[in-house]
Amino acid sequence: MIKLCRVDHRLLHGQVAFSWSHALGADAILIVSDEVASNEVRMKTMRLAKPVGIKLVIKSVDDSIKAIKSGVTDKYRLLIVTGSIADAERLVRECGISSLNLGGTVKSSETTRSFGSAVHLTDEEVEVVRGLVRDGVEVEVRQVAKDKKVVLSEKDL
């Protein structure tokens, strides 16, 4: 069962590894990243950040979609983390995921809009999120589980 699908450019770090996994009762974390899945050094680094007692799986976007759709992940209380809005949109749409957490995106710049202290979206990403919201996906901004959940609406975007 998917407990949370999260976008966080840092992927696995303290907030994800400990705060979210414990708050959700997750017993597995799926890192969805083409880059990390093809880089042995990055995979080893991610494994070092994993909490004891929680399974860590690192897969490409395509392999993650296949695994979720096959049902092989159903036995886990799964926390999914991807590093980009584009990858999250593919997961949400292709796997029928009904909600998305935005926890950490690119840094603020002249070309982004802020949706909280750690969520900054380009115009293209805003359009993707707007499309998800329009299609009935709950998109929330929240860094850690104890923070107030802020659900985005079309008018927010």
Domain extent, residue 149, equals 2-156
Mean pLDDT of 138-155: 94
Query: What is the tally of structural domains in the chain?
Result: 1
What is the rounded CA–CA span in Å between residue 103 and residue 11? 10
Q: What is the CATH number of the domain that holds 10?
A: 3.40.35.10
Tens digit of pLDDT for each residue in 51-98?
899 999 999 999 999 999 999 999 999 999 999 999 999 999 999 999
Instruction: Output the CA torsion 45→51→38→125 (10° steps).
Output: -100
What's the predicted TM-score (pTM) here?
Answer: 0.94
What is the rounded CA–CA span in Å between residue 28 and residue 73? 9
